[in-house]
Amino acid sequence: MDRTFCIESPETEQHLLCALLERHHATPQRIICKSKTRSTNDDVMQLHEQGIQSALVISHQQSHGRGQHQREWLSPQGNIFLSALFSLERPVDGRLALECGLNILHTATLEKLDNLQIKWANDLYSPQGKWGGILVEPLNAHQVIVGIGINVVPFEQSKDIQQATTCLTELGLTHSDRIQFLAEIYLALQQAVQWFNFGSQNLAQRFNAVAAFKDQWVNIQRQHQTDLVGYFQGIQDDGAMLIRQDADATNTVCYDGRLMIP
């Protein structure tokens, strides 16, 4: 059956997704598929408060989706919105979001596409613009909710969006089994947790190979400090950005902020 860009009923979607994840022995304690919700991260938070240890919530639409720094995430039908609950063996830090992005890029559905990138720290990117995002919300040092939003099909863009955006169909994705892709994303997140638990080996090498704006002049917007400008040199193995402010300077290490092109 060809389910290219097809959205099944939530009940059918949940049944098919459970079956796929069972084949990989990767079924979380709770899977919930919805037609519409306020926020999949909020739904997972409620499951956590009920004592659930692992969960996956997917919705066709969100009314109050959010991104990093509580910015609104537009959530029209046809795109992917999911959140998952994971337990970690080591205290969470910024490397987890990078691992999630790296592993999503290696899903079978996305490996067909060229020039997919990650924009530090949590944007799924391309030369044409942003096509997805990752939001890691720690519940405590060893439990996190990972929210994923992916633009699969075009949508009307808000005038408030401050960066270029695109979608996977505009980047060349012509055939996509939605259920298969959802399963791939969840498995990629599980693998990201494993990479993180084992210390994110060779993170800088893996990230810098797909880093958006590497070797370009950037502006790091910081909430409580002066903005930092310079050439983005990629990251070091602990996930921090390296910014070179002039040709002869040593790299400045930066752990927070929003990477922007001036």
Residue 140: CB partners within 8 Å, gap ≥ 6? none
pLDDT of amino acid 129: 96
**Position of tokens 């990230």?**
207
Contact 105, 114 (CB under 8 A): no
Record the tokens describing residue 26, joined without a space: 């990767």
Record the tokens describing residue 197, joined without a space: 């638990």
pLDDT tens for the chain, residues 1 to 262: 344 456 788 999 999 999 999 999 999 999 999 999 999 999 999 999 999 999 999 999 988 765 554 455 555 678 999 999 999 999 999 999 999 999 999 999 999 899 999 999 999 999 999 999 999 999 999 999 999 999 998 876 655 556 789 999 999 998 889 999 999 999 999 999 999 999 999 999 999 999 999 999 999 999 888 899 999 999 999 999 999 988 777 899 999 999 998 8
Give the number of other CB atoms < 10 A from CB of residue 25: 6
pLDDT of amino acid 185: 98
pLDDT of amino acid 6: 66
pLDDT of amino acid 2: 40
Give phi and psi for 241, each to the nearest 5. -75, 150
CA distances from 150 to 78, 83, 104, 213, 248 (A): 10, 12, 11, 20, 40
* Domains in the chain, CATH or no CATH each: 10-207 (3.30.930.10), 213-260 (2.30.30.100)
Report field, pTM of the whole predicted structure over 0.85:
yes
Contact 139, 96 (CB under 8 A): no
